[in-house]
Amino acid sequence: MVDPVLKWAGGKRQLLDKLYARFPAKFDRYHEPMFGGGALFFDLEPGAGSINDTNPRLVNFYRQVRDRPDALVDRLDSFADPDSEPDTSRAFADTTRKETGVENYYYQQRELFNRRPNDEPFDSLDEAALLLYLNRTCYNGLYRENQSGEFNVPVGRYANPDWVRRDEIRSAGSVLESTEILNRDLEYIREYAAAGDLVYFDPPYEPMSPTAQFTDYSAEGFGQQDQQRLVELAQQLTQNGVHVVLSNSGIMAEMYDDAGFYVDIEGATRSINSDADNRDEVDEIIATNVAPTDRGDREHIELGNH
């Protein structure tokens, strides 16, 4: 059981036991095509399999965690407190790309992180370190991009921000050792998963009300057509003998029921932002093709590759 390295919207830590309760007693490889913070993956610590996300900077981050954990920790160690003066030896010490003043080190780091969406040369290790730094020092640990793909969350207030995460990076790096890390659309899994594998999908939730903003994960978003193609993909995987477990918002219950899945409304509510505003609370469903008689209990789940 390893802690996720990043805070991520839709983190599944509260739902873990309920997800495990739907797992098949035995499966081969494990895949998470919409990875985000990967709370279930890190808790499970599977062996071979794949993780995927459409966010290229998130994917680069996990590749660096797996391939260069010590260099990543060293880079993070070299960063300063978000409230300190900008570093005059680095770019964006005094002005942003838009020629306005950089108030402090945090905003300098944010400009440096936004090199990729501005088509400027960037270093992959540096970008990964900046992602974790911003995740630990920005307002509420949010990840939000503007229309141009620039990360635009303001600085947060923390008494003692800790952005190095040495132990979490090392543990996560070893869990990821035999994992394929991909940056594609979730469709890759149609061909990639084999009979006997387990796939867990955690899409950005379809809003319960028009005011909720659950699709605000990245510039791309995940709309109703994407939700529809996810149902069809899950049906195709079922035909291929792949085990599927999926969480979503309550509004999708009927669709998965009609598509032949076992669906339970968990009744659990959650809020995407910290000010537990009722507007952002949703019923949550878990849908699966694993028949109740084929489920294992958490203590006895056998992973084929262990």
Ligand X SMILES: C[S@@+](CC[C@H](N)C(=O)[O-])C[C@H]1O[C@@H](n2cnc3c(N)ncnc32)[C@H](O)[C@@H]1O
Residues 161-190 that bind ligand X (CB under 6 A): 185-186
Q: Which stretch binds ligand X (CB under 6 A): 121-129, 162-170, 218-226, 296-304?
A: 218-226
Residues 65-124 that bind ligand X (CB under 6 A): none
What tokens were used for 92? 């964006």
Q: Is 141 in the site for ligand X (CB under 6 A)?
A: no
Q: Binding-site residue total for ligand X (CB under 6 A)?
A: 24
What lies within 8 Å, CB to CB, of 128 at 6+ separation is: 60, 61, 63, 64, 65, 72, 75
| CB crowding 225-264: b at 16 or more within 10 Å, else e | ebbeebbebbbebbeeebbbbbbbbbbbbebbeeeebbbe
Helices (H) and strands (E) in the chain, counts: 10, 9
What tokens were used for 245? 């477990």
Q: How far is CA 181 from CA 31, 217, 305, in A?
A: 10, 19, 18
Q: Is 33 in the site for ligand X (CB under 6 A)?
A: yes
Q: Is 202 in the site for ligand X (CB under 6 A)?
A: yes
Q: Which stretch binds ligand X (CB under 6 A): 10-18, 103-111, 122-130, 145-153?
A: 10-18
Q: Is 204 in the site for ligand X (CB under 6 A)?
A: yes
Q: Is 37 in the site for ligand X (CB under 6 A)?
A: yes
Q: Is 12 in the site for ligand X (CB under 6 A)?
A: yes
Q: Is 10 in the site for ligand X (CB under 6 A)?
A: yes
Which C-beta is closer to ligand X: that of 33 or that of 141? 33
Q: Is 217 in the site for ligand X (CB under 6 A)?
A: yes
Q: How far is CA 231 from CA 52, 137, 235, 258, in A?
A: 18, 37, 6, 10
Residues lying near ligand X in the complex (CB under 6 A) are found at 8, 10-12, 33-34, 36-39, 52-55, 185-186, 202-204, 217-218, 220, 222, 226
